[in-house]
Structure 1
Amino acid sequence: MSFLLRKIVHNEAMRSDPKEIYGWRVYALACSACFGGMLFGMDSGIIGGVLTMGEFKHKFGLVNQSKVGEANLSANIVSTLQAGCFVGALVASPVADRWGRKPALIIASIFATVGVVMQFAASGYLEPMYIGRFVTGLGVGAASMVNPLYVSENAPRAIRGGLTGLYQLFITMGIMLAFWINYGSLLHIGGAAVYVVPLSMQALPAVLLFVGMLLCNESPRFLAKQDRWEEAKATLAKVRALPENHPYVESEFRDIVTQLEHERQLVGGSGLWDLMKEMWLIPGNRKRALISIFLMICQQMTGTNAINYYAPQIFENLGVKGNATNLFATGIYGIVKMVSCAAFLIFVADSLGRRRSLLWTSVAQALAMLYIGLYVRIAPPKEGQPVIPAGYVALVCIFLFAAFFQFGWGPVCWIYVSEIPTARLRSLNVAFGAATQWLFNFVVARAVPNMLATVGSNGYGTYIIFACFCFSMGVFVWFFVPETKGVSLEKMDDIFGVADLLNRKLAVDPERASANENENENEDSKGGATETRIEKA
């Protein structure tokens, strides 16, 4: 595995690192955590197909509705999950900081499982369906916040992008499985089971996440943050598959401790108010928080989840008729997403870099969406007539859009948001990013059915609006997003100027520097986080 990666990944860090750290253990750990991504993918992919099934429509009252009325009811069912995700992402941050990344993911899997049970047991009643999707959303949102955090804190720097991006790969894998589960259910299952089986299958990744995390270790950086130094160093050595006294482990562990000490010197306390001041009053930290928030807004405004949630309806909008045909086309769309994401993680994530990936895919996504919008406006599909060649190009553009998204805005946003924050603020920063993602995911899920029904004939304006957003994202990246490929988590402060701020602060405030030295000496005597303590660990 190590030899193959060294051939594929053009990254200077990998050439100087011990080959042992790229063994199977770190990949198994990342995949176990990333079942949280599959959970999100299956939840979002299954509901779109279920909403088109006749049995579900009759059972939950979607028939005999006006076009706008059906759109509203469908949007309510879909978007309730995103509402729960928004809350779950925010609540997960204090849980992950207090009890750890591993327990937070286990709790998330339990919430998701309970919510799924409520969904498939709803039996035609909208109230338990709404509550079940909200409860599932709590688990999905919590996992979306903790998962990239947990993986980035365990990953070696040279492949951190690829491992953190596995979250997006597992999302696409879940979406792909969901699409084909819907298609298989429609072909081979009758009665109410045609939608009950897909809804119940949403619990599979939640169970796998629960079992996987029971077998995994806690993040060494979380343990260090809690001043559990012996555990932190032992866990780091275990993940890196090296002895504790190996120079690489000693160096990485010292970097972790040094960064934590520097952060404590900047603000001091570790309460929520102290962390909020550290995030928003220190320019480098504020810049990182704002970049994280805007990246997540941009990710949703590409329109990707409009297709994920309502793919069958969108394919019908482009002239593909028949529920089975729509679900088949949706299944192919899921395969394209998964294969494209896998290709990005293997060949591009830690080679091309974050910035360039975002830039070129912004333009490519915009062109694909613009063509679809112009086709629906100029030559819309007509009832009873075959799809014209320009229509098939529009269908191809849907698949191209999926591929472009997986080469940039899908995985890169999660990678970037989880790797740029300083250690003390990483959980809070990722929570803000994840919550923003779910908030705008909710906006898209709630708005798109109405947009397709009302914004221009056949909803052509929907695609043009998303195209405009995609173009504008490239401008944002060009001016505000620096490259972080191959940079260790402990060196991110240098990129955003926080390390320089600390040096200036101590230079103009020698009394504080002296106080910090005295405090460190006191911590030494108490077994705190100091160099002497590191050597003992």
Structure 2
Amino acid sequence: MARAEKAPGSHISLFNLALVLALTLGSITYGYTFSIVSTTLGQPGWYTYFDLASDETSPNYAYTKRIEGAMNGLFCAGGFFGCVFIGWSSNAMGRRKSLFVALPVAIIGGALQAGAAHIAMFLVGRFIGGIAVGILVTLVPLFQSEIAPPAVRGFLVSQHGVMMVLGYSLAAWTGFACYFSTNSEFQWRYPLAEQVLFPLALLGLTPWIPESPRWLIMKDRFDEAWVVLAKLHGIAGHEQDSREATFAREEFYQMRQQVAADKRLAAIEGASIATLFKKPSYRKRMFCAFMTMFGAESTAILVVYNYSVLLYQGLGFSNMISLMLAAFLAVEVALDALYTGVTENRNEAGLRAGVFFLFLYITCYGCCIDANTFVYCSEIFPSHFRSYGTAWSLSILFLSAMIYLEAAPTALATIGWRYFLIFIGLTFINIIIIWKTFPETKGLSLEEIGEVFGDEVAVHLTHLTAEEREALDRSIDAEKAGGQVQHLDVPAPDTECA
């Protein structure tokens, strides 16, 4: 039986995979930095050093709750400003140069937290760290989506979400290990210091990371864009008429034609941020991006990650217990309502059920939601608005998280499990809205996705018949023969592209 050929655009070169995985160091930075404070709240040395209350009988317990809320509120505020910055910088400076801005900021933020001499210094470090991860959590999936082949873009960009969960896990295990240290300051300082390792590693790799070919095309740097794209497809040294070389030329042609069409349209309709809210097809994208991130945060995931110790303590454990997404969340709230604070005749089976649903919830969220949200929001916007649209998406994440996290310490201390009823209701509503209104983008190139939102596509590349693909290749040959584009030959194996 003949072996079935892979769909065009499904090949992943070693260089492309390595580049995507290198960028996920920024994803780990986000996950680790965001959730490390959940372990800080479980370290007695942190409370002692800053003269904070670790139990509700202390006279400054209310002040401690405000500090716990502020450390996450300031982090989210910093994340929002980071999103605003990257929306501008990734267009003006490029995707690659924006990494050089974000990574030193992340290192400085982590160093301030780990070396904090007083609580104000700690909070400033959280704000600066928030700015850095706001940039990274927007830039990484945007960058990944622009370098991934269309047929496997979902798989590659979803690594951003996977590695974020890895960051959450590393933070949890690091905090747990340091809890047993006899040095009370090491208990909380080392986990905070560890967050600088990941941006430091990515900073070391950044000189070898090439610029996004789509950004280069937007800046009319076509020769550079072709060299990068050819290396991403792994076609250096291949025959000119090889299958991958042909697809690389087709993708390059599609990118150029779509960018040219978008520029003509922008000259007529405008290319300001206001255009995103005026044009119906762009407005629908903005709505989908809003609902994606608002819906994800309304599952209470960051309340779980960031106040995990407080939740576990409420159930009588030494660490966290969380809530479940939708129906899982409803079960968890029921268990929480039944067993939180019970010290006499405790139902051990009920407590174990709570732990089970915790892990079930985290598994479902990490595998099914965390990865998909970033894939969707980074691919639905056209090239000239992708940085603004992705920044808008992630700013909603931070604004939603800021509201939920700022309120959480006080809410958990006063109304307890009832706080989670809000998330149950919101999650069910959001599921219905997303199911009814979101278009599917699977298998389409970034340039073709505009069609499902009502925009015109200059050139179709995926899902073509043999006759349509032959016509496309004739158009590419005619353009090259006419001298409209140069250097579409397969590059030599040693071609530089960084």
Quickly name the TM-score band, shorter chain normalised.
0.7 to 0.9
**Whole-angstrom distance in 2 between the partners of 1:18 and 1:396:** 41
TM-score by structure 2 length? Answer: 0.86
Residues 1:54 and 2:54 are matched in the alignment: no
Question: Percent of counterpart pairs with the same letter?
Answer: 22
Residues 1:135 and 2:125 are matched in the alignment: no
**Residue pair 2:326, 2:427 contacting (<8 A) in 1 also:** yes
Q: CA 1:65/1:162 → structure 2, altered by over 3 Å: closer, same or farther?
A: farther
Q: Following superposition of structure 1 onto structure 2, how do residues 2-401 of structure 1 map, counting pairs within 5 Å? A: 15-17=6-8, 21-63=11-53, 64-123=58-117, 125-243=118-236, 246-268=245-267, 274-320=271-317, 322=318, 326=319, 365-383=325-343, 385-401=345-361
Q: Unpaired runs of 5+ in structure 1?
A: 1-6, 334-363, 504-528
**Whole-angstrom distance in 2 between the partners of 1:56 and 1:286:** 46
More displaced 10-residue stretch of structure 1: 208-217 or 385-394: 385-394
**Whole-angstrom distance in 2 between the partners of 1:163 and 1:208:** 20
Q: CA 1:269/1:149 → structure 2, altered by over 3 Å: closer, same or farther?
A: farther
Q: Show the counterpart of 2:464.
A: none
Q: What is the SS of the residue equivalent to 1:430?
A: helix
Q: CA 1:101/1:489 → structure 2, altered by over 3 Å: closer, same or farther?
A: same
Q: Which amino acid aligns with 1:153?
A: E
Q: Deviations over 1:249-289 (max 9, x none)?
A: 1100011011111111212189xx62324322221111111
Q: Show the counterpart of 2:491.
A: none
**Whole-angstrom distance in 1 between the partners of 2:284 and 2:205:** 35
Deviation at 1:214, TM superposition (A): 2.1
Q: What is the SS of the residue equivalent to 1:439?
A: helix
**Residue pair 2:315, 2:339 contacting (<8 A) in 1 also:** no
Q: CA 1:122/1:103 → structure 2, altered by over 3 Å: closer, same or farther?
A: same
Q: Unpaired runs of 5+ in structure 2?
A: 460-479, 489-498
Q: What is the SS of the residue equivalent to 2:6?
A: helix
**Whole-angstrom distance in 1 between the partners of 2:272 and 2:109:** 32
**Residue pair 2:335, 2:351 contacting (<8 A) in 1 also:** yes
The structure whose residues are more often helix, as a share, is 1
**Residue pair 2:96, 2:210 contacting (<8 A) in 1 also:** yes
**Residue pair 1:375, 1:391 contacting (<8 A) in 2 also:** yes
Q: CA 1:62/1:532 → structure 2, altered by over 3 Å: closer, same or farther?
A: farther
TM-score by structure 1 length? Answer: 0.80
Deviation at 1:189, TM superposition (A): 4.5
Residues 1:412 and 2:409 are matched in the alignment: no
Residues 1:480 and 2:470 are matched in the alignment: no
Deviation at 1:78, TM superposition (A): 2.4
Deviation at 1:418, TM superposition (A): 0.4
Q: Show the counterpart of 1:509.
A: none
